């Protein structure tokens, strides 16, 4: 058994993908699938604000893609929204303040649906939660999990759409969040009567040091048959990612903390 660390990459079928938006842009991404079985669920990851270092490789999503196909049988679809860069490359277009990004969300959902990826859940983080709330309540989506939702771009009518849909919404809210803390989040999300607001003690907006907690909470909801907490060790082959590859592509606040 080998300990799973921040840069551990567990076995999976990984492929670079391209998404094509209705307004003519090509977005770069990656799909990670279980190596030896069909996935039981699919995460469509919507990353934090690209003007502040957010990208498909932001650490929680990187760990999800590196671990969850093997540990939980979950497919992980990550991509860069318009104008966003990462090691994978740069998506066409330019950041559009949560307006044009509606086409990016639609393209990701369409890709997952076309490729018959099962049980599709949106997982938004910070800016990505606004994209999920504004544009993600789609018949092809099972529900949404929101990490550190600031409710900055979302409007009351967006929450009303989710309320009417009845689709599951879970907000994971850090105790020490910079924008929206658990008590206020509970008040704001009361607009979605069935929404679940989970305060996470000790956590901060960027989830540095708390990625494992986030992954466990995601798996608990999208793949309830999988036992959590997820294993901390792996008995099979393992590779290691080069954390230095991200150093010049993100702000210092998104730097990983070794575990």
- Domain CATH number, residue 104: 3.40.50.1820
Residue 242 is predicted with a pLDDT of 80
H or E element in which residue 32 lies:
strand 26-33
Kindly give the interhelix angle for 211-222 and 59-72, rounded to the nearest 10 degrees: 50
Q: Is position 239 within any domain?
A: yes
Domain containing residue 179: 2-254
Tokens (6 digits) for 29: 């991404």
If 0-12 CB within 10 Å is exposed, 13-18 middle and 19+ buried, where does residue 244 land? exposed
Q: Is position 110 within any domain?
A: yes
- The answer to whether the beta carbons of residues 50 and 197 sit under 8 Å apart is no
Backbone angles phi, psi at 176, to 5 degrees: -110, 35
* pLDDT classification of 257: cutoffs 50, 70, 90: very low
pTM: 0.94
- The answer to whether the beta carbons of residues 117 and 39 sit under 8 Å apart is yes
Residue 246 is predicted with a pLDDT of 61
Give per-residue pLDDT as tens, 30-40: 999 999 999 99
* pLDDT classification of 232: cutoffs 50, 70, 90: very high
Question: Can you tell me the mean pLDDT for 98-109?
Answer: 98
At residue 34's C-alpha, the angle toward residues 19 and 20, to 5°, is 5
Give per-residue pLDDT as tens, 120-150: 999 999 999 999 999 999 999 999 999 999 9
Length of the chain: 259
Q: Is position 259 within any domain?
A: no
In the chain, how many domains are there?
A: 1
Q: How far apart are CA 103 and CA 212, in angstroms?
A: 31
């Amino acid at each position: 058994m080998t300990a799973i660390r921040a840069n551990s990459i567990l076995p999976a079928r990984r492929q670079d993908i391209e998404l094509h938006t209705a307004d003519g842009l090509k977005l770069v991404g990656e799909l990670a699938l279980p190596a030896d079985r069909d996935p039981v669920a699919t995460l469509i990851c919507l990353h934090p604000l690209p003007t502040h270092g957010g990208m498909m490789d932001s650490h929680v999503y990187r760990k999800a893609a590196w671990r969850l196909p093997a540990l939980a049988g979950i497919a992980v679809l990550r991509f860069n929204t318009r104008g966003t860069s990462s090691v994978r490359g740069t998506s066409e277009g330019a950041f559009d303040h949560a307006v044009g990004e509606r086409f990016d969300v639609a393209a990701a959902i369409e890709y997952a649906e076309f490729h018959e990826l099962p049980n599709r859940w949106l997982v938004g983080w910070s800016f990505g939660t606004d994209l999920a709330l504004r544009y993600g309540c789609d018949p092809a989506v099972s529900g949404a999990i929101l990490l550190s939702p600031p409710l900055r771009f979302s409007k009351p009518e967006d929450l009303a759409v989710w309320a009417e849909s009845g689709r599951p919404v879970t907000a994971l809210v850090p105790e020490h969040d910079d924008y929206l803390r658990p008590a206020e989040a509970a008040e704001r999300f009361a607009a979605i009567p069935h929404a679940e607001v989970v305060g996470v003690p000790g956590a901060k907006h960027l989830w540095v040091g708390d990625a494992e907690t986030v992954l466990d909470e995601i798996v608990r909801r999208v793949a309830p048959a999988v036992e959590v907490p997820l294993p901390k060790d792996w008995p099979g082959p393992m590779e290691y990612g080069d954390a230095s590859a991200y150093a010049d592509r993100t702000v210092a606040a998104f730097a990983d903390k070794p575990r």
